[in-house]
Every structure is written in structure tokens, then in C-alpha cells.
Amino acid sequence: MKKRKGVKRRKVWKIWVFFILMFVVGFLVLRAQTSETPEKVEIKDQQSESYQYAAIHSPTPQNSVMNSNETEIKKAEPLNGEGITVIGDSVIMGVEPYLKEKLPKITVDGKVGRQMSQAKDVVNELEQQGKLGDHIIIELGTNGPFKKEHLRNLLTSLSEAEKVLVVTTRVPKGWQDTVNSTIKEVVSEFSNTKVVDWYAASEGKGDYFYKDGVHLKPDGSRYYASHLIEALQEK
């Protein structure tokens, strides 16, 4: 009898130990699961929201293509001088280095003492040499007046060019106003031709000129070049 009671007590004790261990293990597991601080929980929630926002708002391939095209449209290709021809006298010869600084592929044909009456022959020569572009600048009148017919014939020969610019002159001689008025009158007859009014642009800028009031110092030449480039870019 005593042996049976002892065995029974040991069994009961083992059962109690088992339940106590199960309780302790369960308590520790529950505590570990709830031990995250509010800050950690909040960070995880924010990260989750960020991932969701990125997934919803990330650009689709179509949007990426559109954005790329828009960038290409905004990035208008700059002028490099290709297809641009300038015909002039000694004034343009002084401006030439500053034009080529910005437009390295431009063709400049300048000659000391050149008259408007000689321009048609220059055009023919450049055309034969393959140097006549579809954007043409005429800078003549410094060395004397010319007949309207000379300029009219010249512009008629250039009627298929995309753009022709004729520059007014500033020269302290009696023919200055006659030259400029002739240029404005004849140019108005041609739809592809515009006046670049150097006379107006150089008003009040005497420090840009040498003593002769015609030829330009470096700053003046640079200003002249920028004025021509601006005119080329205008539609």
C-alpha cells in the first residue's frame, strides 16, 4: 500500500511540473510577441505606407517615354553655323572671328571695299563652290550707295533661300541714310527677307567703334555678332 501511494504522488508531481513549465513558456512567448515598442511599430507602418505609395505613383513605361520626348523637345539644338553664309565688306571681316566662335561652321565672305553691285557675282561664285547656304546675311553699303535694282536683283536670285537677312549700316557719310532707306524699302518686297537694323542697334554705343565710326572694336564686334545670331534664331 505505501509503495502504491508513493508512486501515485510522484505521478501527480510530474503532471504539475509539466503544467507549470507550459505556463512559463507560454508567458515568455506572449511577452516576446508584445515587446515591440510603439516607435518600432510606427516605423514599420510608415515603411509599409511608403512602399504602397511608391507602387501606386511610380511612372509607367508610357509616362517615361513621354517625359523623355518632352525633354528632347525642350532641348532645341543650338545653331552651329552650318548652312549659313555671310557676304559683306571690311566690317564683317572684323566680326568674323566672333561669329565663328559661336557658329564654327558658318561661311563668311568679306572683302575690303566691296559694293552692293558686286554681291550678285559673289553669290554665283559661292553657289558654284557649294558654299551658299539656305540662311544668307548681306552686310553691304558701308562703301557707298547703290541702286534699288541692284539689291532687288540680288534678293530675287535668293528667293528660294529659307531666310535672307540684310543689315543696315552705320557710317558717318552722306550716303548712310540713303542706303538704309533703300534696304528697308526693297526688303519689304520679299517674304523670305528681313532687315537687321544695325543702325538702330548701335545707337548711343560710340565706344564700340574706332575713330572712323564704322569699324568695330572687339566688344563692338562681339555685340554685332550676337545681334546677327539673334536675328538668325528669330522665326
Catalytic-labelled residue, pool 134, 215, 226, 227: 215
Told to judge if 90 belongs to the known catalytic residues of this protein, a careful annotator would answer yes
Q: How many residues comprise the chain?
A: 235
Q: Which of 57, 58, 207, 212 is catalytic?
A: 212
Q: Which of 90, 117, 157, 226 is catalytic?
A: 90
The DSSP string of the chain is: -HHHHHHHHHHHHHHHHHHHHHHHHHHHHHHHHT---HHHHHHHHHHHHHHHHHHHHSPPHHHHHHHHHHHHHHSPPPP--TTEEEEE-HHHHHHHHHHHHH-TT-EEEE-TT--GGGHHHHHHHHHHTT---SEEEEE--TT----HHHHHHHHHHTTTSSEEEEE----SSTTHHHHHHHHHHHHTT-TTEEEE-HHHHTTT-GGGB-TTSSSB-HHHHHHHHHHHHHHHH--
With left for phi above 0 and alpha for psi between -120 and 50, is residue 141 left, alpha or beta? left
Query: Degrees (nearest 5) of the Cα angle 29, 35, 39?
Result: 155
Catalytic residue list? 90, 212, 215
